[in-house]
Amino acid sequence: MKNPPSAFAAGLPYAQAWATQHGHLTSAGYRTEHDGFPLGWWLHKQRRAAYTHLKRTGQPWPHHNQLAALDPWWNPPWRATWNHSWHQAHTHHSTGLPFPNQTTKWIRTQQRTWEQLHPTNNTS
């Protein structure tokens, strides 16, 4: 899809369905599609809109609470790619599958930089 929909209302039902199915939104990577909808792209656009709104107005983004009700970490203060990597590592660990090389490198980086992680990530 060349120009995926970015309007909030267009993607909210897909975000709700994804969160219901997976328990969160954080595993939806940039290229994730849900029922043919570009959910990952849409979430990226929502994160960008939230950041821009906060920077411009100093106020929380009006749609923040709707997405936070689905997943409190839909827009973490760290890079969203960290969540995607964590979910990939967690899935491989939980299923007993060997870690892909990139995931192994990511895990080692987390171990080396443990003290730099956001405090709420240290409890996972």
pLDDT tens readout for residues 12-42: 999 999 999 988 888 788 889 999 999 999 9
Nearest to 121, CA basis, from 75, 84, 74, 82? 82
Backbone angles phi, psi at 26, to 5 degrees: -70, -20
Residue 124's pLDDT is 43
Q: Is the dihedral of CA 106, 38, 1, 52 positive or negative?
A: negative
Residue 65's pLDDT is 94
| CA 14 – CA 20 distance, rounded (Å) | 10
Residue 55 has pLDDT above 90, yes or no: yes
| CA 101 – CA 27 distance, rounded (Å) | 19
Confidence of residue 119 (pLDDT cuts 50, 70, 90): low
pLDDT in tens, 73-95: 888 776 667 666 766 776 777 78
Q: If you ran DSSP here, which 8-state letter would residue 3 be given?
A: S
